[in-house]
Structure 1
């Protein structure tokens, strides 16, 4: 279909209608429809920025108006947002609208133009450099040595330092604005700059590894590949061997402690050249947490990550996003297959002896089994001596002070 720069109001309205129809169709990432939706968004934004230089309607005000109009309560919006807490956080402006939320709200009768307007305006503000550069945790970034290469003998401002750091990871907020969509429960508006900084550092470290990595072939990611990875937990050096295993298959694994205030366990993303990246914070120095986080992020690489999306995960939260649920399911099945688990003595009669027996049968570390029991029973006092406390960071030369 021929697509041109918008020159008239009629063309603008036609493109808006087409964009709304595409959103309603929920196109798959990477499809021709998704590509056209992105193109139309850019064209419409450019036209509106020039033709209508005024503030776009606020989506929260639009939602509140529609609730009043239809007599809806916050509980009535749970199907559109996923949980009661998300409804409350969005309406109080503590959590931003996501694309899945916008798609749902369109069915409530709120126009995609209104809801997308703020999303596009947000990008436009970033493109205009309307970024709070002082919002970045500069002191902590300096303490970690992240900004050293971007400083010089001549005095430079905080803004210039951080701009150089962000741009070095291909995440500049200029004309080619920050294009990644951030997903996952670790994201929050109050910690977004710290998360951007951490993400930039992970990308930089992954690029440093690039030359030593094999070419990535997505077809290797199969259930058998996941099981092979899990069997590495049987070794005393399992975490280090697992990282080497993934990097032999072209997946960069970066260990970078989280910045203060961020509730972040791991991340999954793809660099601009297609390099798949897994970032781990090792927030909890336990083997059960390491293996679940690693498998969860690998599942995102397999099923969900593309060049524009990044998953930032707080695995202590209870996400209802279908992609997070799918990553959880894949990780759980790879670590401890249901067919073995539900029939085992460790499940039916859990104790140190039955846990050890099952771990030997499956050739997996007992911490994985102990962690599953604690999670399913929601009792984190159980088998505290079996989950592998202080058995992860040592493999990567990290101390508790560094995390």
Structure 2
């Protein structure tokens, strides 16, 4: 993996500059039509999903840095390379998008969380109105990027006075192929407060429009980012154990997530009416930062644990089991967590991204007289798969 060599000071400076990485930028106070542009821009990007073609593709350069020292002390962790989104199949109302983080040469990154490409089925229509306005103070710009000059609006949201981040986003008024990310041209987030330092920058590098004649079969949903898939956990806490289901969907560039008790009288993942929509581009910005904050895989404590096998619905997954004993409320307790030794193992095919990097199982036991243990509860992954009826 080729790490970013951008120092923290340069990253912080880039967050305050005008559209870093672009050929030229002109900025001005927005006219009334500019400040109202976000609504039609979002609508144009949403409508473009209905015209998606196999081969539509956008590539961004990204650079992420994180340090626990706000003044730049200590060792900064970095990640850098390219992010590519490409339409690989269209079967209306579904558009299948493959996303991949790679190094500058297009080779897979070595960090386990970003080492594999992910699949993302997106509905080209909506099951309910979705409205997530662009956040921040707006100003009009005409940046040049990916060989084009764009009419665009920059949005700046500065939460540093309350220990929050500085966020800058630049969106094209006419998104074209950038409908995949709601017209995003450039994004920069600078961390601030609570001992955090660093940030991430994403800049448009290339774009390509697919062909109306291109066609491709729907791929198997083996490594889903989330949408189109679900997973169930058994929760044994309190007098009544239960099973909880986490469902994911995507509609016109927004990701939806629900979590709650399994409804045996309804089709899996059939109701996203209460899910909070999250723009896809914000999810893409968060993944490298999560990779930096989480460190290596497996977690250090689990790496020295016991090797074993995790089994769910006939699937066997190589696992690492961490156990530790602590005195809690006057009695020794044994805490156990089971992690996937290889989060991309074939036995986990179809499992949503977030669940691959969580404990597959966890439990707490209290030691009683005679060295025996009594269970005090735990959770366990019990099943997962795709809820897209008739789709792979």
Q: Which has the higher contact order (CA 8 A, sep 6+)?
A: 2
Q: Same fold (TM over 0.5)?
A: no
- Could you tell me the TM-score, scaled by structure 1's length? 0.21
Q: Give 1 or 2: higher helix fraction.
A: 1
Q: Give 1 or 2: higher strand fraction.
A: 2
